[in-house]
Amino acid sequence: MNAPSVELVRIAEPDRLFIGGRWIDVEGTDRLRPVNPATEAALPDVAAAGPAEVERAVAAARAAFDRGPWPRMAPSERAAAMRRLSAALQRRATTADSCWLAQVGVPVWMSRGASAGAAGLLDMYAAMAETYPFERIGPAQGIACDTAVVVREAVGVVAAIAPWNGPLASLLVKLAPALAAGCTVILKPAPETPLEAFVLAEAAEEADLPPGVINLLPADREASDLLVHHPGVDKVAFTGSTGVGLHIAQVCASRMARYTMELGGKSAAIVLDDYDPAELGPALAPLVTMLCGQACINFSRILVPRARYDAYVESLASAMQAVTVGDPEDTATMMGPLAMERHRDKVFSYIERGRAEGARIATGGGRPAGMRRGYFIEPTVFADASNSMTIAQEEIFGPVTAVIPYASEEEAIAIANASEFGLSGGVYTQDTDRAYAIARAIRTGTFTQNGREFDLTHPFGGFKKSGVGREGGVEGLEAFCETKSVFLPRVPTCLQVG
């Protein structure tokens, strides 16, 4: 497999959109213009959908669901088509990896092979579709009927809306279970990072799914809002900021549309007193700087025992200083740039806010020396921070973390829970019994001892303002199903065994 490179970014149909099983011309002239955050150079621009394309995409997905074969196929038939889609996408994996590197600045060590791995979600849900009990027979306590069939049916037309930090994986974790359930899907990438969605649409064309099962709708936020409001969309699956998620939830609630949301985080790592300070920095620095901190699960609060506070701060600051920041295409680079100029400015504003509120920068806080182009930032550690500070309460979405002292495990738990978010978390200790007890006390959707696992074979999602519902695992499939109870006097012939 070739290493990802900006030079390998290739889009076959940049001027058209894949809707209803074919590439169509757009009515307007608007374009989405991604930028390489490492060099500030323009990347290939692509057609942007407008109101007319929103209507066409919804109509195509609606027709495919209401009258097409996809939701009426046997799960094994859908599984076979999903495996064709996975294979077609894996043949384009280097191109998709290159798009991620070019648009987001993800280092080559992280982007290489990522798209092939994400395509594996299609295979996982294909296998699940073949074994999942979409029809379950049981006894009924009725008057005329003594048999009940509990059926899981596809929710309908799905708008899958992805963020800019992990464009392809965020689409696939919605698309794969939706297809397995029998839904039809409209793919809506972020306007800053549309390219992987075009690659996915190329794979869908090759896989020859029925027309309208997968539709591509790259659009700005105005057209996206039309999609969310559209009465022809049965469900919105969204990953992104909490603010946008709250708006989508209100729109969906107003028309009783279904939705799942994976939103922001302010995850805390609790360090217990048996964990060696010298080991803490090397263990945590990669989990703060992954994706240049632009991951909702990153540890942006580090809670450490007050008695050894200075040692823990020194260990983390030293490890963050050792993180190599630079060109994403350089194999020595550990952390690339922030994805956008406006986002870099936002992260710097949080750093200034931390200083103003009395926190001390132990390392970082500025632009790396010698980097005059690109949206680069130094890995940053705040010391002398309290949980009431803005930097400890609001999602910064950058390689910035605050080290907060605590006096007892009870106080650490209280600090970790004193947040409007609840997405991820962790505890650093050699005692698994203590780790599990703390995990059960923290109001968060994912929790790990001595690390931070992200395993979509299991459910992923958040408490509180970190989201609604779960992606991944069997729960991810069930999120795209409606449940129906059918009462009958006997088991129908099609469900009888033997």
Please report, for the domain that includes residue 51, its CATH number. Answer: 3.40.605.10
Domain assignment present for residue 461? The answer is no
Do the domain assignments include residue 32? yes
Residues 96 and 232 in one domain: yes
We report the CATH number of the domain holding residue 411 as 3.40.309.10
Region label for 9, one of left (φ > 0), alpha (ψ between -120 and 50) or beta (otherwise): beta
Query: Which DSSP string corresponds to 397-416?
Result: -SSEEEEEEESSHHHHHHHH
On whether both 254 and 272 belong to a single domain, the answer is no
Task: Please give the model's pTM, rounded to 2 decimal places.
Answer: 0.96
Q: Which residues in 306-440 belong to E strands, given as ranges?
A: 360-363, 380-383, 400-406, 421-422, 425-428
The DSSP secondary-structure symbol of 370 reads T
Same-domain check for residues 259 and 307: no
> What is the count of structural domains for the chain?
2
- Determine the pLDDT at residue 1: 58
Q: Hey, what's the torsion of the CAs at 298, 304, 308, 311, to 10 degrees?
A: 10
pLDDT (tens, 9 = 90+) of the chain, 498 residues, equals 578 999 999 999 999 999 999 999 999 999 999 999 999 999 999 999 999 999 999 999 999 999 999 999 999 999 999 999 999 999 999 999 999 999 999 999 999 999 999 999 999 999 999 999 999 999 999 889 999 999 999 999 999 999 999 999 999 999 999 999 999 999 999 999 999 999 999 999 999 999 999 999 999 988 889 999 999 999 999 999 999 999 999 999 999 999 999 999 999 999 999 999 999 999 999 999 999 999 999 999 999 999 999 999 999 999 999 999 999 999 999 999 999 999 999 999 999 999 999 999 999 999 999 898 999 999 999 999 999 999 999 999 999 999 999 999 999 999 999 999 999 999 999 999 999 999 999 999 999 999 999 999 999 999 999 999 999 999 999 999 999 999 999 999 999 886
Inside any domain, residue 457: no
438 and 476 fall within a common domain: no
d(CA 474, CA 125): 9
Q: What is the pLDDT of residue 498?
A: 66
Q: Per the domain annotation, does 303 fall within a domain?
A: yes
Predicted pLDDT at 221: 86
262 labelled catalytic: yes
- 247 plus 323 within the same structural domain: no
Quick one: 440 and 474 in the same domain? no
On whether the CB atoms of residues 228 and 149 are closer than 8 A, the answer is: no
Looking at residue 176, what is its pLDDT?
98
Do 156 and 277 reside in the same domain of the chain? Answer: no
Range of the domain at 280: 267-449
* Two tokens, residue 382: 């705040």
Indicate if 212 and 335 belong to the same structural domain. no
Q: Which of 269, 297, 303 is nearest to 449 (CA)?
A: 269
Question: Does a structural domain hold residue 16?
Answer: yes
Do 117 and 196 reside in the same domain of the chain? yes
What does the radius of gyration of the chain's CA atoms come to, in whole angstroms? 24
Q: Does residue 291 sit in the same domain as residue 155?
A: no
Q: Say if residue 355 is in the same domain as residue 425.
A: yes
Is residue 45 a part of any domain in this protein? yes
Tell me whether residue 454 is in a domain: no
CB-based burial label for 378 (10 Å; 0-12, 13-18, 19+)? buried
Please tell me whether residues 309 and 413 are part of one structural domain: yes
Candidates 262, 329, 395, 471; catalytic one? 262
Does residue 495 fall inside a structural domain? no
Write the burial class of residue 418 (CB in 10 Å: 0-12 exposed, 13-18 middle, 19+ buried).
middle
Sign of CA dihedral 471, 472, 477, 478: negative
